[in-house]
Amino acid sequence: MFVPGQASDRNIVDFNLLSLNQFIKHQNSLNLSDITNIGKTWDKHRANAELVSNYYARASDHELNNYAWRIKICSKCLEFKLSPEEAGGIFKLKLLHTRFCRVRHCPVCQWRRSLMWKAKAYKILPQVVTDYPKYRWLFVTLTVKNCQISELRTTLDAMNKAFKGLTELKAWPAKGWVKSLEVTKGRDGISAHPHLHILAIVQPSYFSHGYLSQAKWVTLWQQCLHIDYEPVVHISAIAKQHDPTILIPEILKYQVKESDLIADREWFLELTRQLHKTRAIATGGVLRHYMRELEEKNQDLINCGEEMDEANQRTVSFRWDHKLHKYNCEG
């Protein structure tokens, strides 16, 4: 029996030599999830991509129909390379080539984009900490009441305008920030809940001079939104001894949960229309210089931060089986 290696949410997995020999011997009868736990992740995202493709195919909008075709051929074949580690008998499996559709709400591409953002942030943030060693970090979530999915764009425009106003206030404490948008499906199944996640760097003196209480954050956000109710605001500070990279998975996660993408076709199609050409990630202040790569378009979704030696490579390919919902090995 083939024993899979260990893997994280990234696209490298270790093999021991015995497992590699077994793999070579039995590869024609194996699928990706037999070899590595991340194979199950690939299977899940690709299966959900088929659902999303079908949603787009049944839409009345021609542009959405085009998305259906692009997603249908997305990541159908995965080519990985096996490279030996310096430690004897250990091999790494890494994605070498595939075709991504880059449709914003394709579950596969959304997952890969999140991995790419995280990989870049993990490399960048340590330099920020080195350059600003005494500065502190805040994690802020700014919310509004749920809106109808058909009113999402209008709501986001108001939130982004309010956030810009917030950063221009004298009381605004951050010297730099990364802002990400998340939209979740309302509990009623028809509304949308947009909210902003902000990772902010503040001066060392923030907690003694210029500190904003929870109530003050709520008041300022309410004033900038020009609303007649108190919005929910969450603020947490990262302890001095903790690295701000612990928040990368939260700030750079999916814009829309995959379960929400596939839950209801009409809600999803309207979400696509409402989020068209909106920005998922934005940076400001001193962090813009460091983090502007996160805002670039046409980013590399294959090499999500990992580098491997090109020498002594063996490659292996897997093709998507839409009936079994698995990636099968190609001999």
- What pLDDT, on a 0 to 100 scale, did the predictor assign at position 295? 64
173 & 259 share domain: yes
- What pLDDT, on a 0 to 100 scale, did the predictor assign at position 224? 98
Residue-range definition of the domain harbouring residue 59:
12-102+303-330
168 & 253 share domain: yes
* Total domains, the chain: 2
Among 158, 179, 182, 185, smallest CA distance to 270 is for: 185
DSSP state of 252: T
How far the first Cα of the chain sits from its last, in Å, is: 19
Is there a domain that residue 170 lies in? yes
Residue labelled with tokens 């962090």: 287
C-beta of residue 110 within 8 angstroms of C-beta of residue 48: no
For residues 144 and 160, what is the distance between their CA atoms, to the nearest angstrom?
A: 12
88 & 171 share domain: no
Q: What is the pLDDT along the chain (331 residues), one digit of tens a residue?
A: 333 444 444 444 444 444 656 666 666 668 888 877 889 999 999 999 999 999 999 999 999 999 999 999 999 999 998 776 655 556 677 899 999 999 999 999 999 999 998 998 999 999 999 999 999 999 999 999 999 999 999 999 999 999 999 999 999 999 999 999 999 999 999 999 999 999 999 999 999 988 999 999 999 999 999 999 999 999 999 988 888 888 888 888 889 999 999 999 999 999 999 999 999 999 999 999 898 777 665 566 766 555 545 555 688 899 999 999 999 998 6
Among 156, 167, 193, 110, smallest CA distance to 286 is for: 167
280 & 151 share domain: yes
Two tokens, residue 56: 């787009």
> Measured between alpha carbons, how far is residue 80 from residues 34, 197, 243, 285, 306 in Å?
15, 34, 33, 39, 13
For residues 305 and 123, what is the distance between their CA atoms, to the nearest angstrom?
A: 8
Phi, psi of 93 (to 5 degrees): -110, 120
- What pLDDT, on a 0 to 100 scale, did the predictor assign at position 232? 98
Q: Which residues contact 110 (CB under 8 A, 6 or more apart)?
A: 104, 254, 255, 256, 258
CA 33 to chain centre: 22
pTM of whole model > 0.75?
A: yes
Is there a domain that residue 121 lies in? no
Two tokens, residue 20: 């590699």
307 & 280 share domain: no
55 & 157 share domain: no
Helix ranges, 94-142 (H)? 107-131
For residues 155 and 150, what is the distance between their CA atoms, to the nearest angstrom?
A: 10
At residue 251, the 3 state secondary structure works out as: helix
